[in-house]
Amino acid sequence: MRVSGRLRPPGDKSITHRLLIFGSLARGRCLLRGALRSRDTQSKIDVLRLLGVRVEDGSGGVLAVEGKGLRGLAQPTKVLDCGNSGTTARFLIGVLAAYPYKSQITGDESLRARPMRRVTDPLTRMGARFEYERGDGLPVVVHGGELVELDYRLPMASAQVKSALLLAGLVSGVRVRIEEPARSRDHTERLLAALGHAVRVEGGVIDFQPSGEIAEFDAQVAGDFSAASFLIGAATLADEGELILENVGANPTRLGLVSVLQRMGSQIEIRNVGTSVGEPVAEILVRPCQLRGVVVSPDEVPSLIDEIPVLAVLAARAQGETVFEGVGELAFKESDRLSLLASNLRSLGVAAESTRDSLVVTGTDKPLKGFVDTGGDHRLAMAFSVLAASHRSEIELSESDSPRVSYPDFFNHLRQIFSGDE
């Protein structure tokens, strides 16, 4: 099995989500070039339109967002359905907490099972009020209004929670100071700074003082590293050849997978680094290699939380044991990724065990065969498809539709890198 070619992954989902929000809150027409079009980002567009924002598809795949200003979002007359997008739900909660009206946010069955009080508890300290129908999940009614400044220590590293609080501060015009227990993705901080706001980051503390409206902007979205990680995984498991991935976001808070793979024996290279809207952009070279097991520490997890599924299937083909520590948050993603990773690997003949906060995978070179229950989770479907594409694997997925959530062209790209076509 030979891997080859040059390929550009889809636009970064995290940055697309943020630019859609910032574009909606800006004054004027904002252009998003190379933005990701997927089910998740469509959910964001749909709810923004319910808030009175005009979002249009332009020529060449450019998204045009007609901003309403920081205080210009209309009161919704319908429930805001975020589909499967946790980013959409949590960002909206942060924004709408600063608006003097009532709104209701919900999502699909999977999203309704995900915890939201980690966002609403600190926002309650700022002065917003929330009503839950049940437990800790959606639907939630947001009673927003004038907010006060916040000084808050996150109980766990979470880019979504951090971003929701920063957005609340932005819209309400109040200072927000956040202390992180570990470094998480800093896209929101970088974009705020690129758009002219004062953000100071020092020693794990983000100190944000809003400085007025956001001007209209024209932004190029880099390729999504999390999407690229599945192609990186597929190339790593190949027998020969090399793959070059172009225009990939290389934010240091997203590159935990690279450092872990290098410890496992990979010769993966990050080169030709540039920048786009404050974000590093790079070319990534991947060659096949034999991996060895390592320990992934809790401090590393925030920088590779979305890449753990593909890293776990790579560990299934590594020599020895790979231990993932501090990964309990995987149980609260689009599925219970922690238990599904372990059970699916076992169903294929790989030794794997999970606890409340850890995953242990013992690699094997034996043929893998069996059925995988993806739980409707896009990252599990893509990770096990990578394993299925490797030689001596006969793997059947319960579904293959979920990758449309984040990477609509995934299966085409996976075939492409093994066909020799560019």
What angle in degrees, to the nearest 10, is found between the helix axes of 39-50 and 13-25? 10
pLDDT digits (tens, 9 = 90+) for 78-131: 999 999 999 999 999 999 999 999 999 999 999 999 999 999 999 999 999 999
Q: Please report which confidence band the pLDDT of residue 420 belongs to, taking 50, 70 and 90 as the band edges.
A: low
User: Is the pLDDT assigned to residue 35 strictly greater than 80?
Assistant: yes
- Find the radius of gyration of the CA atoms of the chain: 21
Count other C-beta atoms under 10 Å from residue 310's C-beta: 27
- Among 13-17, 42-46, 68-72, 328-332, name the one with the lowest average pLDDT: 328-332
From residue 40, how far is each of 6, 141, 314 by CA, in Å? Answer: 26, 21, 26
State the DSSP string of 25-85: HEEEEEEEET---SHHHHHHHHHHHHTT-EEEE-GGG-EEEEEE-TT-PPPPSS-EE-TT-
Catalytic site residue 306? yes
What pLDDT, on the 0 to 100 scale, is given for residue 422?
44
What pLDDT, on the 0 to 100 scale, is given for residue 335?
86
What mean pLDDT do residues 329-351 have?
Answer: 94
| Residue 302 token pair | 């925030």
What mean pLDDT do residues 326-354 have?
Answer: 95
User: Is the pLDDT assigned to residue 59 strictly greater than 90?
Assistant: no
What mean pLDDT do residues 281-304 have?
Answer: 96
Mean confidence (pLDDT) of the chain:
95
Tell me which DSSP letter residue 11 carries: B
What mean pLDDT do residues 172-195 have?
Answer: 95
Q: How far apart are CA 289 and CA 121, in angstroms?
A: 46
What pLDDT, on the 0 to 100 scale, is given for residue 332?
84
User: Is the pLDDT assigned to residue 352 strictly greater than 90?
Assistant: yes
Q: Please report which confidence band the pLDDT of residue 60 belongs to, taking 50, 70 and 90 as the band edges.
A: confident
pLDDT digits (tens, 9 = 90+) for 244-279: 999 999 999 999 999 999 999 998 999 988 998 889
User: Is the pLDDT assigned to residue 321 strictly greater than 90?
Assistant: yes
What mean pLDDT do residues 275-304 have?
Answer: 95
User: Is the pLDDT assigned to residue 143 strictly greater than 60?
Assistant: yes
- Among 12, 40, 224, 306, the one annotated catalytic: 306
Q: Does an H or E element contain 323, and which? A: strand 321-325
What mean pLDDT do residues 189-215 have?
Answer: 95
What pLDDT, on the 0 to 100 scale, is given for residue 392?
82
For the entire predicted model, the pTM comes to: 0.91
